[in-house]
Amino acid sequence: MTGPHGRPLGEEPGFGTRSVHGAAASRAGSGEIAQTPASVPIYQTSTWRFETGDEFAEVLAGNRPGYAYGRGYGNPTVEAFESLMAALERTEAAFAFSSGMSAVHAVCIASARAGDRIVASRELYGGTYSLFREVLPRYGIEVTFVDPHDIESLRHALVGAALFYCETIANPLCTVADLPLLGAACREAGVPAAVDNTFASPYLCNPVDHGFEFVVHSVTKVIAGHSDLVAGVVCSSTAGRGRIRAVALDTGGAMPPFEAWLCLRGAETLELRMERMCDNADVLARMLEARPEVEAVHYPGLPSHPHHERASKLLGRGRYGSMLSIELTGGVEAAARWCDSLRLAWIAASLGGTHTLVCHPATTTHRQMPAEVRRASGISDGLVRISAGIENAADLVADFEGAFARATE
């Protein structure tokens, strides 16, 4: 990376510096002065003009650099975001999508075809689970669900598989995958590994360091961070990006330029927001663990969490993410009353934004899972998922404590 005047920096810059300077804008200007805009320009166009038909054909074929059409054939604003994500995830390349689910789908289709089998963690976001259980099998792709913490069962399942898929911090129970062990098992089996790193973000974890070929993000969440867009990205090797891009060209789902610009803007403050959100999550988790109305708190930052030691080694920075979940005494009725009694935190979809959000996974994010599968995965009917925002911690604590009082009135 170069400094603001184009001079090379010595040691690798810190994460916050890379977030701000990792997406270099094109230099522009007139006369002798070429200036760089503070904000990457939005190239709000779906198509590009060519002087000759031969130029058009050469660019489409990839035989010369250039831009042709918005559906994955390149856009300077989108490419700036892709380069930033590759820098933050320490991968060679990245390809941006219009949603996180588009990114997950592309990884699967780029890795498997009819007759192949994918091995997936059973601890997954409901939309991903539905894709694996309902959609892919329609086209002849079998999916085997495994306990990601049972390494021997995983090794057995990986034999003959086309892809392994898991989540760094699982949605919604916040279990933590042993990425070094899982990555080693996949390398031994010759199976490419993919991981959803949304909950952790590249600020806390870079799965490529542990042998994962594909790192997926719902950019809607922590990276963009302001609840004003829907987007996804796959970070990978250059060869992996080529396979992902080939799928996107034929199936659609590439990120539009305006969303890419919003992502770039949001990513600049990723470190600052994650620090505040993680601090708030830690404060809330410790307060909730002491409440008599709460049966269990699922947060890897607590010493009582079964994966606390693993998370301490994997995530680094002394932070454990902005997500937690709780089980209230009284089950689903108590959970509903408590959520409805909150005044500052919102009942809403999504996570990782500036607002603190709560939801009831059994009826929202994981509604696609059959009840017996959901409960077997540890997602009780009374579980509440919490995404800590950037509000003042004291105000959040007051709101959460007040909700307990109001819920019993």
Give catalytic residue positions.
Answer: 71, 125, 196, 221
DSSP state of 366: T
Instruction: Please say whether the beta carbons of 398 and 376 come within 8 A.
Output: no
Give the residue from 67, 51, 309 showing the smallest Cα distance to 176: 309
Integer Cα distance of 155 and 143 in angstroms: 15
User: Helix or strand or coil: residue 136?
Assistant: helix
Q: Tell how strand 383-387 and strand 117-121 pair up.
A: unpaired
Integer Cα distance of 353 and 37 in angstroms: 27
Integer Cα distance of 130 and 113 in angstroms: 18
For 46, 183, 211, 231, the CA distances from 253, given in Å and listed in that order, are 14, 28, 27, 9
Instruction: Please say whether the beta carbons of 296 and 172 come within 8 A.
Output: no
Owner of token pair 């070429």: 34
Enter the tokens of residue 394.
């004291």
User: How many residues are listed for the chain in this entry?
Assistant: 409
